[in-house]
Chains A and B, each alone.
Chain A
């Protein structure tokens, strides 16, 4: 495994980093779409996120990495493995409400699965195990990337270059949380809850509007234009390449700090209050912008709550809403697809009107 550029060493691109962190605090926010200029560290950020995330507990031997606290899920593999009481599972990451007896579990890194271009459908959804089919004529299921991404992240670089039928499939699974395989005589379903992270460059072609809406947050990244930032980008990259180990070590403290905040945020996410007034504000904002459906409000509320949890606040207030409004709503505006003076400024205007800022 190649050395990974530390998350906290990424210069600028605050909105992108924030969106990824929000999604890791509360995966129910939905996916993150990162669109923008080349060379702005989109893949770097996602790969860095993998190294940043705290570990999670998973059932030993489960191909889907099921949560030992919630084995009543869909995974058939785990239902049968109930047995020994979990030993030495006093890790912070373990869920407090864990039953005393459960399947054997261990700490594993949160999966951040890369969906490479050129991946075939059989590897994505899982398929007939070719080896056993060819050699023994047996019908066996070989889990695919969706299984591996369960409870983690699935990253698609150049999402707009991925074939349409694969994108449709991913979105469907991401929305339903389970993967249903009906192919080659197999009939299998397994849990597949993951945060979809897509990135791309709009110049290569755009995503279909109905797909845009399925992503929770949408971030636009731009090449920094001021010299000091650019120098810092190049310098850090250069330092990293000269000696990755030393660079990672130097930033490990920052990363660890961030990791602790993430863990803490997840812990008290459920306690963060969302006052009615804030909900009203969110709804009013969405109405003013004319977003379709309720997904906008929901995402706005969830991401504001996740942000509040991440900041260590007890309740959501306007400042949280303001910060997440653009990424949560940007891609939901009903708009003339050609209007350039884009969504960001419209959202800003609406925020200014609503919060009297």
Chain B
């Protein structure tokens, strides 16, 4: 590969994304994202299955290509690297009946799935932010167990497979994220963002080094103190899942192996914590000083180690550890703090939950659709390969009338080829295939856009929340999806992407703060975008906006009441043009003419509920929603 190695290694300017908190001396100097990504790559190449994989967040482009190329170069030449396409069917992913071969042979022939084929190598999941939760869960199960259990199409087998995953995340919007089931099993979250190619200078790891490290890995010892330090760091950063901590432990081992050592030293643990734990931090670790007062650092030994703990004869802590008299935990934690991504840091300091901690991600709703469920509605000709079910009986029925003809044809061929024809076989051809059809009710996604500004907070935020909760329960019963947008202060935010999970809905509602200006236009815009994306998925969207209609922040965020109203009207008009069914609930103390005007511009039904409690509010909404979804007619524009 030309390029990276020859470029002189100068200081990398503009290290966006990595900064040290409050100017504290960052021990391992903040490194470029690319250098970090190469470290992650090297560790991953040493132990792909143990570490699970890498979530590579980058646009499709030369930087990502360079990274992937580097990975191929680092892995043993024999390791398969296969791409898992977005719309992969279960048959290809897991394995199943190979239809063509089966029909040709006249007996069932199994098809090996992609996950079995990548044994010993790496599965590249393209556009991982768009894969279905079900596919993610299947990959996750194979990762967990090191084998695939197949119970499909009349086959029942167990195939061992040990592979790593590189999930390519190209998500551009906040409403897209890789399913959490999968992310949790990947050790490294690498964000190359908009890194320019010229900054991707650090050379990739050397294949020989990686191979040597792979050899050494099983014998690398880990001091118990370091294991405890990693656990403590994970806890301090709010990294909940034990799985992640275990991944950090494995990464530390891989780091030691890569460095040619047989035992893990502090630097390895630090590197592991930086690469594995830091990107998943959900809270700022408390200052060591204040924390030390609050609760003593856990130097006391944990419950008696299991009897088999055969690592008592571990080498004593390494001599080349820096002479720092602070506890090991704090040193590791400090090093990691420097690596918490800048954006995340800001979020955490502002007391906000980062996206990764908030949403489960994935398209848990989307997977429920498609042509694979619902009430059976007959069959139709089609190719069962594209994830659809073969309607066997219908297929055979379609093939039946042609049997005599085909048999004759086959006999003719056989006799001309000099072979014996196999009699008594049913001759099924591609044209005979029938796939099962299913009918399903289209889903409705109810989008709640809640004004959480200061004026609203004073009035009715609590009631609005209560009403949303009641409505959520109702949507839950109907198995509809709900989404929640809150607008306050500088702009609008999707608090809850469309979901059916009450747990998530509750959490985001509980965490909905009030106060600040009213960016009404931004709220309407965000609702329109979300409604649009819902409808692109084939669902219908109903928007319920709860506000007092007194916008005072313009689209550009300036506090200018008149401008804000104009912007809001314009946004409302745009919404009407999209034809989204909408309902505006005016919760001001008195009905606001401004709110009604906006409702009219939006083509929304207007409902002034100044003194309603949450039950009345939800009752009113239910009525409207029922009538709106019942008569699914396009609303005529009613612009003033």
**Given A137-B426, A203-B360: A123 touches B244 (CB 8 Å cut-off):** no
Q: For A1, A40, A118, A130, which residue has the most chain B Cβ atoms within 10 angstroms?
A: A118
Bound complex: CA of A1 vs CA of B159, how far in Å?
10
**B373 contacts the other chain (CB 8 A):** yes
**A23 contacts the other chain (CB 8 A):** no
Nearest-neighbour CB distance to chain B for A334, whole angstroms, equals 13
Q: Tell me if A233 and B242 are in contact (CB < 8 A).
A: yes
**A116 contacts the other chain (CB 8 A):** yes
Nearest B-chain residue to A243, judged by Cβ: B310
Q: Tell me if A234 and B249 are in contact (CB < 8 A).
A: yes
Q: Tell me if B245 and A118 are in contact (CB < 8 A).
A: no
Nearest-neighbour CB distance to chain A for B423, whole angstroms, equals 11
Bound complex: CA of A336 vs CA of B476, how far in Å?
11
Listed stretches B299-307, B550-558, B596-604; interface member: B299-307
Nearest-neighbour CB distance to chain A for B502, whole angstroms, equals 6
**B184 contacts the other chain (CB 8 A):** yes
| Complex interface: chain B residues within 8 A of A158 (CB) | 137, 141, 181
Bound complex: CA of A123 vs CA of B191, how far in Å?
41
**Given A122-B154, A134-B426, A227-B235: A203 touches B230 (CB 8 Å cut-off):** no
| Complex interface: chain B residues within 8 A of A206 (CB) | 476, 500-503
**A90 contacts the other chain (CB 8 A):** no
Instruction: Digitize A153-172: 1 where CB-to-B-CB distance is under 8 Å, 0 elsewhere.
Output: 00001100101110000000
**Given A38-B241, A157-B141, A164-B373: A337 touches B308 (CB 8 Å cut-off):** no
Total number of B residues with any Cβ neighbor in A under 8 Å? 92
Q: Tell me if B138 and A234 are in contact (CB < 8 A).
A: no
Nearest-neighbour CB distance to chain A for B346, whole angstroms, equals 25
Nearest B-chain residue to A248, judged by Cβ: B308
Instruction: Digitize A227-238: 1 where CB-to-B-CB distance is under 8 Å, 0 elsewhere.
Output: 111111111111
**Given A116-B150, A130-B108, A234-B230: A223 touches B241 (CB 8 Å cut-off):** yes
| Complex interface: chain B residues within 8 A of A127 (CB) | 154
Nearest-neighbour CB distance to chain B for A341, whole angstroms, equals 11
With A223-B241, A230-B245, A236-B306 already in contact, 10 other A-B pairs whose C-beta atoms are closer than 8 Å: A40-B242, A117-B141, A135-B107, A161-B134, A165-B373, A204-B133, A204-B181, A232-B302, A238-B222, A336-B473
| Complex interface: chain A residues within 8 A of B413 (CB) | none
Nearest B-chain residue to A145, judged by Cβ: B151
**A124 contacts the other chain (CB 8 A):** yes
Bound complex: CA of A123 vs CA of B152, how far in Å?
6
Nearest A-chain residue to B248, judged by Cβ: A234
Bound complex: CA of A105 vs CA of B469, how far in Å?
58
Q: Tell me if B137 and A38 are in contact (CB < 8 A).
A: no
CB neighbors of B among A27-57 (8 A) = 37-41, 43
Q: Tell me if A134 and B309 are in contact (CB < 8 A).
A: no
Using a CB–CB cutoff of 8 Å, the interface residues on chain B facing chain A are 50, 90, 93-94, 96-97, 102-103, 106-108, 133-134, 137-138, 141, 144-156, 158, 160, 180-181, 184, 218, 222, 224, 227-228, 230-232, 234-235, 240-246, 249, 298, 300, 302-303, 305-311, 360, 362, 364-365, 367, 372-373, 389, 392-393, 424-426, 469-470, 472-473, 476-477, 479, 499-506, 510
Nearest-neighbour CB distance to chain B for A149, whole angstroms, equals 11
**Given A114-B149, A136-B424: A231 touches B227 (CB 8 Å cut-off):** yes
| Complex interface: chain B residues within 8 A of A40 (CB) | 242
Instruction: Give the tally of cross-chain contacts (CB within 8 A).
Output: 211
Q: Tell me if B94 and A118 are in contact (CB < 8 A).
A: yes
CB neighbors of B among A252-278 (8 A) = none
Bound complex: CA of A124 vs CA of B365, how far in Å?
24
Bound complex: CA of A117 vs CA of B155, how far in Å?
14
Q: Tell me if A9 and B306 are in contact (CB < 8 A).
A: yes
12 A-B residue pairs with Cβ-Cβ distance under 8 Å, sorted by A, are: A9-B306, A116-B150, A118-B93, A118-B94, A123-B152, A128-B392, A131-B107, A202-B503, A204-B360, A224-B242, A227-B231, A337-B502
**Given A117-B137, A163-B372: A246 touches B308 (CB 8 Å cut-off):** yes
Bound complex: CA of A158 vs CA of B158, how far in Å?
19
Bound complex: CA of A4 vs CA of B348, how far in Å?
39
Bound complex: CA of A164 vs CA of B505, how far in Å?
22
Bound complex: CA of A239 vs CA of B314, how far in Å?
13
**A345 contacts the other chain (CB 8 A):** no
| Complex interface: chain A residues within 8 A of B510 (CB) | 340
Q: Tell me if A231 and B501 are in contact (CB < 8 A).
A: no
**A284 contacts the other chain (CB 8 A):** no
The residue from B102, B106, B364, B372 contacting A205, defined by CB atoms under 8 A apart: B364
The residue from B106, B231, B300, B392 contacting A234, defined by CB atoms under 8 A apart: B231
| Complex interface: chain A residues within 8 A of B108 (CB) | 130-131, 134
Nearest B-chain residue to A121, judged by Cβ: B389
| Complex interface: chain A residues within 8 A of B150 (CB) | 116
**Given A2-B146, A131-B108: A115 touches B151 (CB 8 Å cut-off):** yes
Nearest-neighbour CB distance to chain B for A175, whole angstroms, equals 22
**A355 contacts the other chain (CB 8 A):** no
Q: Tell me if B241 and A37 are in contact (CB < 8 A).
A: yes
Nearest-neighbour CB distance to chain A for B484, whole angstroms, equals 13
| Complex interface: chain A residues within 8 A of B227 (CB) | 231, 234-235, 238
